Chains A and B, each alone.
Chain A
């Protein structure tokens, strides 16, 4: 299995530009997560999907951020317009969906996209 695939691995853009980050989850996984890692805030969950439906987007910083999952094998995280404070590493992770409230399924992380907004 190729694991979680993210593209691009590195993105450098100028303030005000639109940025689109892409993620392909592991085949058969039906939960997908977007995380952001910064020095100031550490690792934080932005949004997660179950069966392509957004379940919790309370971590999305503001309206400039949007995420979609049009099908089970693809998700995007878009920032429009981008700002220097958005510079971070963005991770995508996927897992099987929970079978019950007391269960857990391991999340598998992609290599991340390092975003720099100048």
Chain B
């Protein structure tokens, strides 16, 4: 079975500081991995995805994530946090051949001015 684990339900960073949100996956086959962002009272928006091409994936809003098979990780980073990055972030994995997503528990990012 495929699943993802997000470490840290809340992360606080200062404006301008590095953002690091952690995600580890559990999969018996190479997975498709995703990061979604949810702003307050809104739906989910795709930030970036890994689909077995380049291991370093660049997404929207300056975010990127690196697929590390040896660590079974897909951590999300951004060099410099902006106030508008405050949101909840979800890591997700696809069930191969079925197209339905399994989500992590989410990490709420707070950006301190």
Contact = CB atoms under 8 A, between A and B. Distances in A.
Interface of A: 4, 31, 33, 42-45, 48, 55-56, 91, 93, 95, 97-98, 101-102, 104-107, 109-112
- Could you tell me the dominant secondary structure of chain B's interface residues? loop
Contacts of A104: 32, 49, 51, 94, 99
Interface residues of B, number: 22
B99 A112 contact: no
B26 interface: no
A95 B97 CA distance: 14
Contacts of A98: 97-99
B35 to A, nearest CB: 13
A91 B49 contact: no
A112 B43 contact: yes
A95 B43 contact: no
Contact of A97 (B32, B49, B90, B99): B99
